[in-house]
Amino acid sequence: MSDALAQQISLFRSLIKTRRFDDTTLRILESVLVSKSVKSLKEVESSLRALLRSESLSTIREIVEKPVGQKLLVLEFFVRAFALIADSCLALRYEALHMRELESASCQWLEVSYLEWLNFAEHSLDNGFYSIAGKACENALLCLKRDIANPQVDEFFENVQVLEKIKRLKDFAMTSAASCSGAGCRVLEKEEHREAQNKSFILYRDTMCGKHYVQKWN
């Protein structure tokens, strides 16, 4: 590893430690990952992933009493950072979406679109989280019905197609979840990674939402 790259990684680590959660920090992370000096990208990604997981958990504890807007900014930062290192961090993404839904009654700009829930459902399905994918599809359907309460004529057929797609995805997710209840289920994701996701979700749920009801992460 070159000295310049080592300095970039050190700078990124320092910014995270000092809670500098902005685009500048993300750009530094991106520059590290695209550097030609990276001989072992997987090794660098693994190190950065461990850093982000550790710091995201400690940060969540620190901001538990902060306003919802600030919590969401922090969650969105970590979602984007994890995405750069090819880590879906589904628990954190779910928490950000769910928190926005809870607060959207008083802050309309926080409303989650059906497409956001649909994308999350697809990613959950890809990672073997069938029950939560089904729940995300239910949320997508609710959002879609809200959005098309007064549809234009030229949007009608497009909305019908989207509705059918979400229903098919939900049916597949629930069927897969039911089939995985048996002893012979083939787990699509490594068990240790699934356990890490579960632990992360429990912490985000308990610290970020307090007494708010949150769907159980399966």
For residue 122, what are its two tokens? 């697809």
Q: Is the pLDDT of residue 12 over 90?
A: yes
Contact 114, 166 (CB under 8 A): yes
Q: Is the pLDDT of residue 194 over 70?
A: no
Give the largest Cα separation in the chain, rounded: 61
pLDDT at residue 156 in the model: 63
pLDDT at residue 158 in the model: 73
Selected residue with higher pLDDT from 52 and 204: 52
Q: Is the pLDDT of residue 56 over 60?
A: yes
Which range has highest mean pLDDT (83-92, 155-164, 174-183, 185-194)?
83-92
Q: Tell me: the pLDDT tens digits for 88-131?
A: 778 788 888 888 888 887 888 888 999 999 999 998 898 888 88
